Structures are given as C-alpha cells and as structure tokens.
Structure 1
Amino acid sequence: MMLRLDRVSKTFRTGSFGGRELHAVREVGFEVAQGEVVSLIGESGSGKTTLGRMILRLAAVSEGSITLDGVDIARQKDYYRSVQGVFQDPFSSYNPIFKADRVLEMIRQRFFPSMGAADWRARVESSLAAVRLDPGGVLGKYPHQLSGGQLQRLLIARALLLDIRMLVADEIISMLDASTRIDVLNLLGELKGRGLGILFITHDLSLGNYVSEKTVVLRSGRVVEMGRTELVFGNPLHPYTRNLLGSVPRLHRRWSEEEDAPEEEATCFYHGAAGRDATWPGLVEAEPGHFVGCATSGTCAPALELVR
C-alpha cells in the first residue's frame, strides 16, 4: 500500500471578503509506503498540520492530488478503514463527560454495527494489547482519570480497531513527559514492524532522526530537502536544514558556551529577497536518495552549486 502526494498545494482566502490568498502548502510531493516511517519536519507555521489534515480529508486539496494505491482519496468510500490520524493534544479528542472508551464504541457503531458483544470485546482487548494497555486499567475510566500517555495510546488502539495501513501522527508526543515519549515512540516502531505506514509530523529533529527511515523538511509550505534520514541529518544540504540542526541544544555544553549559528548565504528561495520571485524549479537529486530545493531560473542544475 502506498500513500502518494503529487504537487499538493493548499490556498486559504484571507482578508476582507476573502480578497487575499495565503499559500499554506506549495507543490509538495512525497510518498509513504506500508511498513515505513516518514518524518515531516519543520517549524511552527510551515504547513505540516495542514498537510496532515489534507491527507485525513479534513481539509480540501487546492491543487495536486493525494492518492492511496493510485486512487484519489476523495473518491474512496472506505478510506478511513485504511487511514487514521492521532493528534497533538490527546485530551481534546475526548468529551470529559463521557468515559474514555466511548471513542472505541463510536468505531463499533460506525464500522461494526452487526458485530456481537463477545467478538467486539475480543477485538478491543486485542487492540489494547497491541498498544500495551490493560483493559481493566483504562476501560470504564473518565479522561481525567488517565494520563496523557494512556489517552494517546488509547487513540492509537482506536485506529488499530480498523486494521488500518496508514497512520498520520501529528505531534503526538509533544505534550507528553520524557518517560512516556519513549514508550509511544517504541510503540510506533512496533507498529511499523507489523506493516503500518506512519507519517510522523514533528518539529523535533531528534525524534524524527530516532524514528524514521525517510525525512521531509518543510519550510514556508515547500519541501526544501528530503531523502533517507541518515543522509538528511548526516549531510544537510539546504541552508534551512543546516540552520535547524545548528539550533539543536547540545547536552554537553552550557547555554552560555553556545555560539550563535552563522547565517547562511542568502542564495536560495527562502533566504534573501533576490530569490523570492524566481521560478520554483522543484527538487534536484544531489546524491542518490537525497533531494534538495533551491530557487533557480529554468533548470535545476545550478542548485547543485549551492550545496557543494
């Protein structure tokens, strides 16, 4: 199973009477295969969540296409049996006046209305076991009686009830404490091993490096660099990627000992006004499995001069 984004763009109308346009996502293209974790990395406002919402059909695509196994997702009736999402704030996904396992019962009502009680109970227990939750510890509890990590894993169990093949994980550990984060990350690794494809949306570079095989770096709605994670992190080519990596705190040095990262030369699309009106040439393959974007007119070849 393959989820594919092909030149996907999203434009919002803003201002009085919608007279202006905000280009949140511009011509983004990448793939997520079954059994693969792809990290989508970028600063706040770069368009990561907008992309996730379009993949989950919570926002319409303005241009381009998103397909699952070659079929446009907008035309797939049972799309949510294959693709589900888990979001940043687990508490916002629950109604505090209902018990937490109501989110599981809603799946039964929508997708398994004719399933018997015994079969449904067995299915729920299997899904909870997959995310290392004890049914007796979470079922029948209200959201405030469970931790953030338990609530997040319960949402993942909810997705697994449908035998999904793709999971969009949007900043799912940013609100969890350090000890719980590693549990959720290891859980994602286990799910990948079972054949689940995962789009891991994050602004935390260390987490993306830890969990993914491929990395996509997003800046101002465009992909500026992507490829195998070890290449993107080991040999960053785009100035924005280098600045991101240079901003990561080093545990062995005190803050007062840190030096300001040098500004990259303003030659690419995202650095300096001179390039902002240039035609976007897309991405160039700088080395096998490693792509970088730069604003050059006409051919993409001059982009290689920037990264040498």
Structure 2
Amino acid sequence: MLEGMMLKLQEVSKVFRVGAFGGKTMTAVDEVSFEVARGEVVSLIGESGSGKSTIGKMVLRLMSAQAGTITFDGDDITKLDKRAYYRKVQGVFQDPFSSYNPIFKADRVFSMIKEVYFPKEDDRVWRDKVASALNDVRLDAGAVTNKFPHQLSGGQLQRLLIARALLLDIDFLVADEITSMLDASTRIDVLNLLADLKLRGLGVLFITHDLALGNYISERTVVLHQGRIVEYGPTEKVFETPEHAYTRKLLASVPQLHRKWEGV
C-alpha cells in the first residue's frame, strides 16, 4: 500500500424525509467515519438498505451530507471545483447498461470525455490514448469501439467504464456493486483488474453486499448495519475474529463450498 491518506469521512450523516408529505425522517447514514489510503481497496459491506450506496453517492457528490465532512487529499469535497474533482474521482455502478444511451455506440463515453476535458487534444493522439486505456482493461479496441451497448456483454461494458475513468487519470474509484450483474468468470476478471489498478496507486471504495468478494480484494473492511459502522478494521481480522454479532451473522450466512447443504 502506498503512503498518504486520500479519502476521509468524519462523522458523516445523511437523513431523508419520508412519508406522503415528508413529515417523517429516516437516517440512512449515521455518523460514519473511515479512511481510504492511496493504493488501497476498502470494502464497504452491508445488506440492502444499510446505507452503503448512499455513502458512495455522497463521496461522488451526487448527494450531500447533513452532517460531518468528506475530504479528499485534505480538502473538503464540497468546496472543490466539480470538474477538477471528477478528474480525480469517478464511479462505476451496478448496472453497466444504465450508463449508456442505447441509440449511440458504446465508445461515445470516450468522445464525451474528450469534448469536456480534452477538447484540444489531437484526434490521432486521443485514439492512441483510448486504445491504451482499453488495453489496460484487457479489451481490444477494434472489437468493442464500434458496437452498440446491446452488442456487448455486461463485463465488457463495465471495463469500458473503467477505461473511461483511466482516461481521466483518476486517483480514486467508487465501485458500487460493479460485479453483481456479471457471471462468475467475468466477475473475477473485473476484480483482478481492480487489483492491478490498486498496484498503480488507485484508491478504491468497493461497495458490495457479497462478503466473499470483499474478502478477496480488500485490505480493510467496513461493515454497515442500519447506517452505522458495526465493524471496521483489517479484512483478515474482520473475517476471522468478528467482534459484532451482526458481522458474525453475515459470515454465518455465506454458503460454504466445501460443505453440503444440511437443510431438510
């Protein structure tokens, strides 16, 4: 792991108004604090409704926190220029198909990046950069750039989104359930890709409900329950000697591949 703290959440809370007229409130995230260093993957684990995706959206500035602070390299993210922030921080989400307009070819995600961030870049230089980014995510440019989204697999579309992030030369990636819609073999490929990017110094917040995937990829693990952190520490310690009853319950619910089901 490389030195230096990149992302830091300090007592972050998010409350939603609910009910027919917004007369009630629901605390989705309750005083959450954790850090992600350079070259580190931190897994944010919890069941549906635990608040993990809300945290990811707040990190990506898609929604704001009611309390607490989120800092990136020491700066409050709410005070940073959005365009500059998104040059360094990007997200990839659960359903890759939702990130593409079906009437455009899949590589439009690259042309949009060029229009916004690199309008003066020579077209030939840009094509070389795109090809290099695709190679980094183990895709052949000729096989994917001229296809519509429906002609590509979920794994290919996820890799295209990661390649888009690489073109921005980002420092931090929020990966929100990015493997949940992929088949088993493609899932491992994407996880190994994230591991390769981590070695280059990329920080990753890996949001998942799947404990096995979190154990596979992360150095540290945060376990959320009803918006609060109930377990936080080195992944090996969290999985081998969990201190909280909720964490133990989650671990007990994971199927054991070496054992037959004993139900009746």
What TM-score bracket applies, with the shorter chain setting the length?
A: over 0.9
Higher relative contact order (CA 8 A, sep 6+): 2
In the other structure, the counterpart of 1:7 is: 11
Let me know the Cα RMSD of the aligned residues: 1.0
**What's the TM-score once normalised by structure 2's chain length?**
0.96
- Show CA shifts across 1:120-178 (max 9, x none): 11111111111011000111110011111000000000001100000000000000000
Describe how 1:151-190 pairs up with structure 2 within 5 A: 151-190=157-196
State the partner residue of 1:71.
75
Take 1:53 and 1:242, find their aligned partners in 2: how far apart are those partners? 27
Q: Distance in 2 between matches of 1:120 and 1:252?
A: 49
User: How many residues end up aligned between the 2 structures?
Assistant: 258
The one-character-per-residue Cα deviations of 1:236-288 (angstroms, maximum 9, x if unpaired) are 11000000000111123232x159xxxxxxxxxxxxxxxxxxxxxxxxxxxxx
Which residue, 113, 126, 129 being the options, matches 2:132?
Answer: 126
Q: Distance in 2 between matches of 1:70 and 1:124?
A: 31
- The gaps in structure 1 that reach 5 residues or longer are 260-308
Partner of 1:38: 42
Alpha-carbon distance in structure 1 between the residues aligned to 2:137 and 2:263? 40
* Matches of 1:88 and 1:139, distance apart in 2: 21
Matched-pair identity in % = 69
* Residue 244 of structure 2 is aligned to residue 245 of structure 1: no
Give per-residue Cα distances to partners, 1:185-228, cap 9 Å, x unaligned: 10000000111000000000000000000000000000000000
- Post-superposition offset of 1:17: 2.5
Unaligned runs of 5+ in 2: none
**Equivalent position amino acid for 1:38 in 2:** V
SS in 2 for 1:198: strand
Instruction: Report the alpha carbon displacement of residue 116 of structure 1 after superposing the two structures with TM.
Output: 1.0
1:16 — aligned with what? 20
| Matched AA of 1:55 | V
Mapped to 2, the partners of 1:258 and 1:248 lie a distance apart of 15
Q: Which amino acid is 2:54 matched to?
A: T
**Structure of higher CA gyration radius:** 1
After TM superposition, list the pairs within 5 Å mapping 1:1-308 onto structure 2: 2-77=6-81, 78-255=84-261, 257=262
Instruction: Tell me the amino acid that sits aligned with residue 27 of structure 1.
Output: E
Runs of 4+ in 1 over 2 A off after TM superposition: 252-255
Normalised by the length of structure 1, the TM-score is: 0.82
